[in-house]
A and B are shown apart, each in its own frame.
Chain A
């Protein structure tokens, strides 16, 4: 009760610290030093940043020989913490027996966590390097199979990275 309402100073500042000038100069010198170093800034949108292979951009479906790898198991849909993915399975004559007749990702819901890529038993849904995602309506943000499918050739970089790092 004795210290109640009383300010407790944990450390007394000395004179130099109290006038702040040396600290300000220290900071200024750091700033000025940056002027003579190479620039990080990218002139977006004229220039575009090229992400590393480990980058998680929007998820895509891998297409191989004209058919999606996906077997519509729905695990990505189940694991998705944001419930962005909706899958409807149907039967196919192919050996894989089932395929997604409908596969939709709501990019407004997607949080780019990459769980879908991690859980996929077929390496059918993977994260791409695309990050340009601006929409003018809710409907536009729902990606169907037409916009999700990418050939395995095109996604070679990410597939290789996955093989080496998973």
Chain B
């Protein structure tokens, strides 16, 4: 260990660290643009200059290794003056177009200009003009004038995305970021450069001009695009999800997420195909009905079948809590004998960094609750030969496969939980509108067995932003009933566990849970893999089940 002193405080740090890392580890932020903890050191922005005793000149903290007895000052007069000069130089050619820049509000240059710059420029000449509105790839937009040449994006493309398509050309103030001739930056991770870019040079083409960042609320959540379960933040304005951004969790995704997850995993929440309340099939057409009617219909229908004629398909899209309650209800209340789980694996669509072939967020969790994938084929066979007459499907569009759809058409009773109209709901007799990942509390178990929290960001008819502790934007806080901007669409959808608990109540077996954490507490006692876990223990980064990866998952305990 090396003993170093930063701003008069002594720390014992690993001698392999650089000064900026050692400071960050001990809660001291040294301002920086080009340095990033997950990228190689470039040392070009000069913003992290610090004064080190016995060194004649100021040194950059990002590439100076600590040594025993080192005395560092991050706030001496010389450092402040140098930082100020660096800011003045960076701002010389930076356009004053914050009002039309998507980065404004979460811009490092903006923040540092307030914190570390005197705020006045002596530069009266014309700024250098460079290409604007350059499409760097299918998802990333470049404004070269805003670029401060930190090279984070180039290093990301080289080192993390492994698509070295970006480079600088020209010299001095005329440096231009561009792709190599004939190439475009279309890596499946390309949009991470938008988060990496400390200024508004690289922005999202999808989110372009949709909203100012301060108009949205952000809620910590988990991406449902694949079994990795990248930690995300859900950005909502007027009750509509406008974008997802990654949230750093070194156990799962580091600071990154893939473009597919960022762009496609939330579209169904805002979709026009969303269900709004339960549907009943009457005379071969769907009728919108109230919850009570739908629930009593389910109960009266289920009672007409023998126990071994009823089957249940769990969901790798639903939370652990939903699957647990579903399994408990079907096993203990209904007495069903057949439990299965559908797989959604795209063989080959997998890589070393994040993307997994399994395109569901909670296959591991659903299996731990007793739904086995190997039981699906025998179950479909049973439906085909008439042994199984009733099927209850939790949040899964299994009929997307036409072969399965043909088999489901044989059923006398098909009950489906779904948030949108799809192939499976078209075949159903009762459709219950379930809440999406962005509308409920719960947990997902990823392919490594890591259990992570999701939190509601979008309100439904039943939830209230203020009362239910959602994160709030300024608009949410002050919207009155007569304000148009407070009136984003709210759907009549409920968490699946809530729906099932209500069905169980109608059947005469009360399930009393006030919230999802009570279910999690119970399942942590009942399911060995979850033993010892609680929402408190999951915290903001999650915790791992004792079962670990699904390969180690034992065959379903109850069936």
Contacts and interface: CB of A to CB of B under 8 A. Distances in A.
Interface stretch (A22-30, A68-76, A147-155): A68-76
A47 to B, nearest CB: 34
A104 interface: yes
B215 A74 contact: yes
Interface stretch (A2-10, A53-61, A83-91): A83-91
Contacts of B482: 108, 138
Interface stretch (B12-20, B53-61, B206-214, B372-380): B206-214
Given A78-B214, A90-B209, A98-B209, A71 B484 contact: no
Contact of A106 (B211, B215, B483): B483
A71 B99 contact: yes
B482 to A, nearest CB: 5
Most buried by B among A83, A90, A138: A83
Contacts of B475: 83
A10 B99 CA distance: 60
Contacts of B211: 89
Contacts of B483: 83, 106, 109
B100 interface: yes
A73 B99 contact: yes
A104 B484 contact: yes
Contacts of B215: 74, 77-78
A121 interface: yes
B100 A96 contact: yes
B361 to A, nearest CB: 32
A97 interface: yes
Interface in A99-144: 104, 106, 108-109, 121-122, 138, 142
Given A71-B100, A78-B214, A91 B208 contact: yes
A74 B212 contact: yes
B485 interface: yes
A84 to B, nearest CB: 9
Contacts of A86: 484-485
A103 to B, nearest CB: 12
Interface string B465-495: 0000000001100100011110000000000
Contacts of A98: 100, 209
Interface residues of B, number: 19
Nearest to B474: A83
A104 B475 CA distance: 14
Contacts of B212: 73-74, 78
Contacts, number: 42
Contacts of B209: 72, 89-91, 98
A89 B98 CA distance: 14
A97 B100 contact: yes
A73 B100 CA distance: 5
Interface in B434-491: 474-475, 478, 482-485
A98 B211 CA distance: 12
B130 interface: no
B267 interface: no
A6 B98 CA distance: 66
Contacts of B81: none
Contacts of A122: 99
A57 B98 CA distance: 29
A135 to B, nearest CB: 12
A86 B474 CA distance: 12
B115 interface: no
Contacts of B98: 73
Contacts of A71: 99-100
B176 to A, nearest CB: 19
Given A83-B475, A86-B485, A89-B209, A75 B133 contact: no
Contacts of B484: 86, 104, 106, 142
Nearest to B475: A83
Contacts of A106: 483-484
B471 to A, nearest CB: 18
Contacts of A104: 484
Nearest to A86: B485
Given A71-B99, A91-B208, A91-B209, A97 B485 contact: no
Contacts of B210: 89
Interface in B191-242: 208-212, 214-215
A73 B132 CA distance: 18
B214 A121 contact: no
A78 B100 CA distance: 14
Nearest to B482: A138
B474 to A, nearest CB: 8
B237 to A, nearest CB: 10
A74 B209 CA distance: 11
Interface in B476-535: 478, 482-485
Contacts of A74: 212, 215
A86 B98 CA distance: 19
B478 A83 contact: yes
A122 B99 CA distance: 10
A106 B485 CA distance: 10
B333 to A, nearest CB: 49
A71 B102 CA distance: 12
Interface in B121-159: 132-133
Given A91-B208, A97-B100, A121-B99, 17 more contacts: A72-B100, A73-B98, A73-B99, A73-B100, A78-B212, A78-B215, A83-B474, A83-B475, A89-B209, A89-B210, A89-B211, A90-B209, A91-B209, A97-B133, A98-B100, A109-B483, A142-B484
19 contacts: A71-B99, A73-B98, A73-B99, A74-B212, A74-B215, A75-B99, A77-B215, A78-B214, A78-B215, A83-B478, A83-B483, A86-B484, A90-B209, A91-B208, A97-B133, A98-B100, A98-B209, A106-B483, A138-B482
Interface of B: 98-100, 132-133, 208-212, 214-215, 474-475, 478, 482-485
The 5 lowest CB-CB distance pairs between A and B, nearest first, are A73-B99, A89-B209, A74-B212, A86-B485, A138-B482
